[in-house]
Every structure is written in structure tokens, then in C-alpha cells.
Structure 1
Amino acid sequence: MLWDIRPGRNRFFCGGSLLTAEWVVTAAHCILEGEVTKDDFIIRLGKLSSERGIFEENERSTTVQEVIIHPNHDPNNYDIDIALVRLAERIAFTDYILPVCLPTVEDARRLLTALPVGSISGWGRTMQDGTFSSSLKEVNVPIIRQGKCRRAHARYDVTKNMFCAGSETGGRDSCDGDSGGPFVVYDNGKWNLIGIVSWGDGCALRDKYGVYTRVHRFRDWLQEYIGEE
């Protein structure tokens, strides 16, 4: 998780996904709307609780060396909502801290076309206008066809760099505070990062869906920085 360490803050503000021992991917709007620089937050890994003052046995934390927002991110409509955070030190992997797999473009397209059920996780609000969760939560939701996604969010611009996931009847969704976190799909024996929690029109409402950044569209950009680890 991304943890704000500025005076008077001391709280989590977004999620993220570990890609390698020194890189985390998150949503660009987390950095911009949080108005944070690299010195304003730390990365806490292997953490289950979001409560202040709790350091867990399996947790590791590190300061940030660099923040890189995709140069084509549009803050007006959340297009290309992706950013990289370089850790100040390489993190040792454990049973509780492991990187997520970055699928090939072909595999990501195949999975998105198949409309599988994916998993989202975070410490966001547990319902519309509810409280933030004090512990890590997870929910499974299916990917929605793009046309249906656009009709559900007709007032907004759902671009080719986004996809929707959720339940027609509501009740299962990402929400405020989950931004930047992962949308993963299990395939071929591994968890694949397909999306990043980006935005929504309310939370878990009927005929509304969470909107996610299509990570595969920025695979080349990611690998410019993280390499082939």
C-alpha cells in the first residue's frame, strides 16, 4: 500500500502492485490527486491492516526513490491512469511479499476477450459512503463487455485504455480507497495483472461497474523501466 507520511496524515491512500524487487505500479491519479512527491509517502508491503500504529510481523516498508507518471495520462477523464514507483531499496521476496505476473499482450487480450472473473483487493470503502476497511479485503467480479461498459457510463468517456468489471445487480465492486490496486486473473498457474483500479460512478451500484486501466496497453512503457525481471 501507499502510505502518506506527511505531518498530520499518517495513513494509507492508495493500493499498488509489486512488479519486481524495486518497482510498484499504481494509478496516476493516486499521485496527482494525493498531491504527493516521492518524499511524502512510503510503500508498505505484506500488510493486512490499514490501521495506524500497527507494524505486522510479515510487513516490510521502504521509502521511494522515484515516481514516474505516464506522460500521456489525462487527469480530466482518467485515461492512461498508470504510474510507476521505484523503491529506494530492493525488497526481498517472502511467502507474504511476491510480485504479480505481467502477462504478454497476447495473453492479456485473450483473457479480456474471454470475460473471466477477476479478483480485486484493497482497503477501500466497503459500501457507497461507507467507512474504509481496517483490513485487506478481496472480491471476485467478472469483466464486462466494452459496449455494455460504455452504455452504463454514458455520461463519461470510457476509452480503449479502460475496461469494466462488476455485477449487474451491484453489491460487489472496488470503491474509494481501492484506487491503484490490482485486478488480477488466475491463468496457467499464475496470477496475472490485467487491470489497475481507476474510477467508478459510485460503488457497487446496480448497473454500474468499476473501471480499470488496461495494463497490457502499457507493457512496453513499463518494461522501459522495469526491464525483463
Structure 2
Amino acid sequence: MKCLIVLVALTTLAIAKPAARIVGGEDVDPPGKYPWQGSLQSFSDFHSCGTVVISNKYVLTAAHCVISQSPATRKVVLGMHDKDTRLEGNPTDYNIERIDNHPLYTSGPPTYWANDVAVLTIEGTIDLTDQYVSAIGMADENSPDFSDNEDCHITGWGRTRGGGPSPNILQEANIDVLSPAECRANRPGQIYDYHICVGKRFTADQGACQGDSGGPLSCRHNGNWVVAGITSWGNSFCATTQASVYARVGFSGIRSFIREITNM
């Protein structure tokens, strides 16, 4: 993106909207490789968004995934690998006790999905002894911008292309994290401190799509996995010539909100 996408983006700004899929990814192997990845679903088992396990009680997702929902309308499925066939992993349903949306969340322009994070409190506790489920650490206010980190990955069951199919198997892509300056150059007038951008600098062939929203940008930092971002928005038809935009977990306004709800 530093070369190709920035040049294209400056000439072809597309309409932004919440993202939901992994484009240019591949099947996760083995099952449970990203055990903090979950699925936000209706009680008819329809996958709508991703989720991120941060403890045995709390799960993160995007605010736009739950802004009009109550705990009675959604569940979280953890330990899942193949969302349609459910033959691998250990897919387990968890009811939601409470939904807390970031109080300063706003949708669309001109703020471009500001503070697009929600905390889901789970009824009972999540079984973290399950080999397919574990919590991930969180980036904090002192974390780097991850733009030099070569071990960052996006995951989800979102569409594999704009208007395309939703995959059965969880998808992953080893992604480049753009610096704040690259991000702003890539999307002029659309990026704020609560955003973090991802894509492929030189090939422009990977990104997030419909169905990936709420899922993690996971980076290995100092030997540990941390969630650096929550999938938020991107281009119409999931074009990868511009960056996919995530809510930046280490942004002080987002991290303090999570801390207030979870004491973490």
C-alpha cells in the first residue's frame, strides 16, 4: 500500500461502509490457531460479525454490529472453525448478559465510525480450558503503531470478495499495518486517531469485507499476541486498493472505555 495503494487511493476514493470479510486470505489451519476469534450470531445460527475473547467474562466486537441489538437477540459462538458444517473445533454457544457500546460511537462520515467498539458481557463464564478457546491480550496506550510488525494477521468469516460468498472455514491473512501517516495519505480526510489501517503495501490484494466486522487485527508483540484493532469499515464491494480500517484498541479513548467496563 505504501506504493501502489496510496497512489490508487488518491485518484479513486470509494464510498466507505462497515467491513465484513477477508479478501485474499486462506483457510486457517489448524483449527484453533486463533482461539480468541468468535462469531456473533442470531439464534438461528446466522453469522453477522466477528468477536474477540479478552477474558473468561468479556468479548469485544464492533459497536456497529450491536448498536440496535439487545442481549436477547444475539449470542456468541466460540471454538468454531467451520461455521456452516461445524465438524471441527468445538463450537460452543454463549448467551450475552449485557452489551456496552462506546458512548462516543458515531456512524458514517464525517467521523467515519468513531470509537467503533462494544464490550459484550457473557452470561456465566467462558471455558478457557477448551483447547479451541483462549483470551488475547490488548494493545494499550503505550503500544507502538505496529507498522513495522511483520507478524500481524486479520481473521474472519466475512465474504471473500465484494458481493461474493461467505466462507465455511475461518480465513486469515498476514497483513501490513500502515503507519498513521500512510493511513491518512491512503484515505485523505477519513482517518482519525481512533483508527488503524491495514492492507498490503505492494500488492494491494488483501483486506476485510462484509462479515469480518468486529473481528480482530492480531499482532505478536514482545512474544505475546495482542489485539491491535477491531474490524470496522472499508470500501464498497470490498476493493483492496484502499486500506481496511479498524478501531484502534490502543487509542486512549477506546482503551479507557474497555478498562472502565472490564477493569482490564
TM over 0.5, shorter chain:
yes
**Gapped runs of 5+ residues in structure 2?**
1-38
Match of 1:224 in 2: 260
Equivalent residue pairs, number: 218
**Residue deviations 1:95-152 (CA, integer Å, cap 9, x gap):** 210001113321x2x2435354410100001122211111101101111122332232
Mapped partners of 2:140, 2:179: distance in 1: 21
Within the candidate set 130, 143, 146, 2:164 is matched to 130
Within the candidate set 193, 215, 219, 1:185 is matched to 219
**Residue deviations 1:6-25 (CA, integer Å, cap 9, x gap):** xxx53010001001101000
**Residue deviations 1:36-82 (CA, integer Å, cap 9, x gap):** 2110011100101221x747552221111000000000113201100
2:229 is aligned with 1:195: yes
Alpha-carbon distance change, 23 to 171 in structure 1, aligned in 2, over 3 angstroms: same
CA contact (8 A) 1:166 1:210 kept: yes
> Aligned with 1:219: secondary structure?
helix
Considering Cα pairs closer than 8 Å and 6+ residues apart, tell me whether 1 or 2 has the greater RCO: 2
Structure 1 residues 64-103: aligned runs within 5 Å: 64-76=96-108, 77-93=112-128, 94-103=130-139
Structure 1 residues 1-229: aligned runs within 5 Å: 1-5=39-43, 10-32=45-67, 35-51=68-84, 54=86, 58-76=90-108, 77-93=112-128, 94-106=130-142, 108=143, 110-112=144-146, 114=148, 116-154=150-188, 157-168=190-201, 169-202=203-236, 203-206=238-241, 208-217=242-251, 218-228=254-264
Structure 1 stretches of 4+ with a deviation exceeding 6 A read none
**How big is the alpha-carbon RMSD for the aligned residues of Structure 1 and Structure 2?**
1.8
Q: Under a length normalisation based on structure 1, what TM-score does the superposition of the two structures give?
A: 0.88
Mapped partners of 1:39, 1:137: distance in 2: 28
- The AA in structure 1 aligned to 2:235 is D
Identity percentage over the alignment?
Answer: 26
> Aligned with 1:80: secondary structure?
coil
CA contact (8 A) 2:139 2:249 kept: no
